[in-house]
Amino acid sequence: MIRIFYRDGAEIRLTQTESKFATIGRDNVLWIDLISPSGEEKRATEAFLDIEIQSRAQAEEIESSSRFSEDDKAIYANTNFLSPADDEMLMDPVSFILTDKILATLREIPLRSFDTLQRKIQALPDQFPDGFTIFVEIMDKRVDLDADIVELISKDVSLFSKRINQQEDINEEFLLDINQLQENAMFVRENIVDKQRLVSNIMKSKRCPKNSDLKEDLSVILQDIASLINHTNFAFERLEYLQDTVVGLINLEQNKIMKIFTLISLLLMPATLVASFYGMNVTLPFADKWWAWPAIALLMVFLVVGIWLTFKHKKFL
């Protein structure tokens, strides 16, 4: 699918036909949004912009240090947009191409931030004079969504902390839940840092307009990203603390169980020794007396109680 936003007088119109490139002037085009484009749509966009658009496989294979590049024709930037899915985070690659104040985007799935922006562009055409302004708006909306994800992680951390304080369901499964949340926090942080690098490179690019308002908007986005990184780091540190706490509680519970087993073994050991001694098939002292069995039973009870009182006195219990 292709969506072409172009200026028609004071309005911004939308067309979804690549054949419109022949009738739309290059100076009027603001944004070309490619969503799982066909080969014909991709070739038409490349011919119109006189550039080569990367495939999704190429965009995914790009190293983090090479996710931004530029030449004499355009700026190429690649990043991932996160979306929560059950207990995991899905990463959807998005490619940005900025050339002659035209923005071209390549993605594989619908994204809420893009759909919201497309409606805003048509409703408020005066706020979007060129593709760079649209790019800044996309990044601003994306950072807001990332902030919502960080807030969700912080809420989950608070819920986990509450469960620990109430000693509710503290087991190995709970520990795995904390580990999964740590993974999500790590993915979010890496993604936010990637956007920080992208915006910084855009600001340093010679092809970026010298518009002071645009620079100021990008600076605000960088400040928001820095704030999100701090919040994510704090959430990750809290998760590490919770993980250590859960491991400690599990170890204490296991130690209590082992302590009980050890105590039972020690309590029964003397009685077992006496019973084993008198259970031998040999002649033993007082074995022929009528009071032998009650005396032996009383001796075993005395030994058990004596050991228990000794442990109690030593505060081993």
Rounded Cα distance between 182 and 289, Å, is 71
Closest by Cα among 67, 130, 4 to 54: 67
pLDDT band at 249 (very low <50, low <70, confident <90, very high): confident
**Tell me: the pLDDT tens digits for 180-224?**
888 888 888 888 888 888 888 888 877 777 777 788 888 898 899
Report residue 315 as tokens.
């505060």
- Specify the higher pLDDT residue, 233 or 173: 233
Angle between helices 131-165 and 212-278 (to 10 degrees): 20
Q: How far apart are CA 127 and CA 121, in angstroms?
A: 8
Chain segment 4-61, per-residue pLDDT in tens? 888 888 888 888 887 777 788 888 888 888 888 888 888 888 888 888 877 666 555 5
Count the alpha carbons within 13 Å of 8 in the hemisphere toward its beta carbon: 11
Q: For residue 18, which of 53, 58, 57, 69 has the smallest C-alpha distance?
A: 53
Q: How far apart are CA 94 and CA 276, in angstroms?
A: 77
- If pLDDT is split at 50, 70 and 90, which confidence band does 293 have? low
**8-state DSSP, 21:** G
Q: CA geometry: angle at 124 spanning 79 and 106, to 5°?
A: 25
User: At 271, which amino acid appears?
Assistant: A
Which whole number is the average pLDDT over 100-118?
A: 83
pLDDT of residue 265: 77
Phi and psi, residue 188, nearest 5°: -65, -45
Phi, psi (rounded to 5 degrees) for 8: -130, 90
What percent of the chain is modeled with pLDDT above 90?
A: 2
Q: What is the mean pLDDT of residues 222-248?
A: 85
What predicted TM-score, i.e. pTM, was given to this entire model? 0.74
- Rg (C-alpha) for the chain, rounded Å, is 35
Distance in angstroms (rounded) separating the CA atoms of residues 135 and 118: 12
Task: Flag the least confident range among 102-111, 132-141, 299-308.
Answer: 299-308
Token pair for 300: 């075993």
Q: What is the mean pLDDT of residues 244-258?
A: 77
284 vs 62, 272, 274, 307, CA distance in Å?
87, 17, 12, 25
Three-state SS for 171-230 is CHHHHHHHHHHHHHHHHHHHHHHHHHHHHHHHHHCCCCCCCHHHHHHHHHHHHHHHHHHH
The residue to which tokens 């909306």 are assigned: 141
Residue 29 one-letter amino acid: V
2-251: CATH topology: Beta Polymerase; domain 2 (3.30.460)
pLDDT of amino acid 172:
74
- 3 state DSSP class of 163: helix
Kindly tell me if the per-residue pLDDT of 240 is higher than 70. yes
